[in-house]
A and B are shown apart, each in its own frame.
Chain A
Amino acid sequence: MEYPIPFSRYQEHMREGRFVGVRCGACGSVLFPPRAVCPECGGRAFSETELKGEGIIRTFTVIRVPPEGRKAPYTIVMVELSEGPYVLGNLLGLNPEEVGMELIGKRVLMKPQPVAGDLLLRGEFLVPGFYLV
């Protein structure tokens, strides 16, 4: 068995500015981040699929007390992508002091956002960043 899209390749796709997940051959569900077993139907045959990066904010928070090594405040959103998957990311381009319940339901566009790793997870990573449309 070969893991469909390992994290390292997911990161390569992000560096190219692309969000690539997998589509389940059995039920058609799109999985992003990519996985090896479909959580909807248990399917294990996938094709790669590129996501548009469009979605809707389903919930959010502003982190005020950060983990060691990060600077607060910053905003985290959970977004439902137009292809179906939910994903966690950072809301950018908006002052965290100015966000509230009105964010929920807002349309966003996903762009790769660099973050630094730390002593526990070393490296530099790209994570989903979101901008209000």
Chain B
Amino acid sequence: MREVAVLGVAMNRFGVSQKTNLEMFTEVGLEAIERSGLEPKDIQALFLGCCLGAFEEGQAHIAPFAHSELGLPTGSPAVLMECACATATVSIRNAALLVAGGVYDFVLAGGTERATLMGTPLATRTFAMASHSYYESTVGITFPGVFALAAHMYAAKYGIGLPELKRHMAEVAVKNHKHALLNPKAHFQKEIDVETVLNSMMVADPLQLYDCCPFSDGAAAVVLARADRAKEFVKKPIYIIGMGQAACGALSLQRDLTVVKARVEAARQAYSQAGIGPEDLDVVELHDCFTIAEILAIEALGLYEFGKGYEAATKGETALGGKVPVNPSGGLKAKGHPIGATGAAQVVEIVEQLREEAGERQIPGAKIGLVDTLGGDFGTVCNIILRR
């Protein structure tokens, strides 16, 4: 297998967009290609994530349209990927595997999503399509609901009083909002405190509005290349040194929702391929779609023991300047969560951190970073480890 490098990366400002999914992805795709020192004709394949385009814009089969908007050659295939919220990370992993395998030398991967067009009731319904349709969506489970089940189970399993756990969860939101203040691409530029979270409306007990990431519009793209040629095109290529992906079925099969089994396995694969452990990470972008989700993630990624991660944000250990900064971009919580683009935006943040181009939120000297993206009700987890 060949080594794979990231060349140019790009994302737009997440939030509410007047531009279409295609227009957003065309902008970031062309920017990523340009920053790679390449032309569209050099791109040999496109892996595009867009989860709910059919419900947002009545658009299916969007990848070939993006392909032609970008001016890619007819001989370069365009594939739509869908792994719920992990979509773009999975797109990037599959693109990287094909570069590693010698099939392609230059590939564009990323995603685009325009979730705000749907409005909350339809978005809540269509997000719930990523639960088991016949056996679990029919009881009315929603995505906040899935993580709410996990939060109550976490409190019961570890014997933590719910009010205490909720304050620690709120600290995750406070931290990620604070980080987003330093990120001009973030959906929210608003500092909050614990009381903001605890006084917000209840969405799915015990998760309140500020425990939840927003529905966002946005797009992000990365160009992957064979590593041995990367320096011909960019000054600071970033290398993919480990990847992992795993799958699990319905919630009823997962049982213990405090341990995301797909993440444990995906992370094991990625660490093993990279030949490193969690203690070697300088920066982490992980899947904080809900405050409890960040706590579950730091534990399964091995940054904390199971049952010990809930105080991390409160203690400042996961903030910029802390032991291991988690979600310096603001995370899904505050940077925003356009589901089909999220994983690519996480890669963009890690790449910018490793290039020391992250501006005010730069982690000094960051050398190794990890991307963690979860899809559906813990059905997919994909991890990518990058180094400068």
List the B side residues contacting A65 at CB < 8 Å: 120, 124, 142, 144, 203-204
Number of interface residues of A (CB under 8 A): 39
List the A side residues contacting B302 at CB < 8 Å: none
Segment among B145-153, B269-277, B320-328 that sits at the interface with chain A: B145-153
Annotate A93-123 by CB proximity to B: 1 below 8 A, 0 otherwise.
Answer: 0000001110011000000000101101100
Annotate B128-170 by CB proximity to A: 1 below 8 A, 0 otherwise.
Answer: 1100011111111110110011101101100000100000000
Give the complex CA separation of A125 and B138 in angstroms: 8
Give the complex CA separation of A103 and B148 in angstroms: 14
List the B side residues contacting A78 at CB < 8 Å: 149, 153, 251-252, 257
Partner of A67, one of B134, B140, B249, B255: B140
A59-B149, A61-B145, A64-B203 as given contacts; A39 in contact with B249, CB under 8 Å? yes
Contacting pair A76 B121 (CB below 8 A): no
B253 at the A interface (CB under 8 A): yes
* Cβ of A68 to closest chain B Cβ, rounded Å: 4
Residue from A59, A78, A85, A125 having most chain B Cβ neighbours under 10 A: A59
Contacting pair A59 B140 (CB below 8 A): no
List the A side residues contacting B140 at CB < 8 Å: 63, 66-67, 70, 74, 76, 90, 115
A53 at the B interface (CB under 8 A): no
A19 at the B interface (CB under 8 A): no
B57 at the A interface (CB under 8 A): no
List the B side residues contacting A118 at CB < 8 Å: 125
List the B side residues contacting A69 at CB < 8 Å: 121, 125
A59-B257, A115-B140 as given contacts; A67 in contact with B204, CB under 8 Å? no
Say whether chain B's binding surface is mostly helix, strand, loop, or mixed: helix
List the B side residues contacting A117 at CB < 8 Å: 138
Interface residues on B, range: 35 or more
* Cβ of B212 to closest chain A Cβ, rounded Å: 9
List the A side residues contacting B150 at CB < 8 Å: 59
A85-B252, A86-B255, A101-B155 as given contacts; A60 in contact with B122, CB under 8 Å? no
Contacting pair B142 A63 (CB below 8 A): yes
A59-B150, A104-B156 as given contacts; A76 in contact with B124, CB under 8 Å? no
Residue from B128, B140, B205, B255 having most chain A Cβ neighbours under 10 A: B140
B247 at the A interface (CB under 8 A): no
Contacting pair A68 B122 (CB below 8 A): yes
B-contacting residues, A35-68, CB 8 Å: 39, 58-68
Give the complex CA separation of A101 and B203 in angstroms: 17
A4 at the B interface (CB under 8 A): no
Annotate A65-90 by CB proximity to B: 1 below 8 A, 0 otherwise.
Answer: 11111100010101010000111111
* Cβ of B323 to closest chain A Cβ, rounded Å: 30
B60 at the A interface (CB under 8 A): no
List the A side residues contacting B149 at CB < 8 Å: 59-61, 76, 78
A132 at the B interface (CB under 8 A): no
B103 at the A interface (CB under 8 A): no
Annotate B254-298 by CB proximity to A: 1 below 8 A, 0 otherwise.
Answer: 010100000000000000000000000000000000000000000
Known: A104-B156, A127-B138; 18 extra A-B contacts, CB below 8 A, are A58-B255, A60-B152, A61-B148, A61-B152, A61-B206, A64-B201, A66-B124, A68-B122, A76-B139, A76-B141, A76-B145, A89-B139, A101-B152, A105-B156, A120-B125, A120-B129, A121-B134, A125-B134
- A residues with a Cβ closer than 8 A to B are 7, 33, 39, 58-70, 74, 76, 78, 80, 85-90, 99-101, 104-105, 115, 117-118, 120-121, 125, 127-128
Provide 25 A-B residue pairs closer than 8 Å at the C-beta atoms, listed in order of the A residue.
Answer: A7-B135, A58-B255, A59-B156, A60-B149, A62-B202, A63-B142, A64-B204, A64-B205, A65-B124, A65-B144, A67-B142, A68-B121, A68-B122, A68-B125, A76-B139, A86-B255, A88-B141, A88-B251, A89-B139, A104-B156, A115-B138, A115-B139, A115-B140, A121-B134, A121-B138
- B residues with a Cβ closer than 8 A to A are 120-122, 124-126, 128-129, 133-142, 144-145, 148-150, 152-153, 155-156, 162, 201-207, 249, 251-253, 255, 257
Q: Which 6 A-B pairs have the closest CB atoms?
A: A67-B125, A61-B148, A68-B121, A59-B153, A62-B205, A68-B125
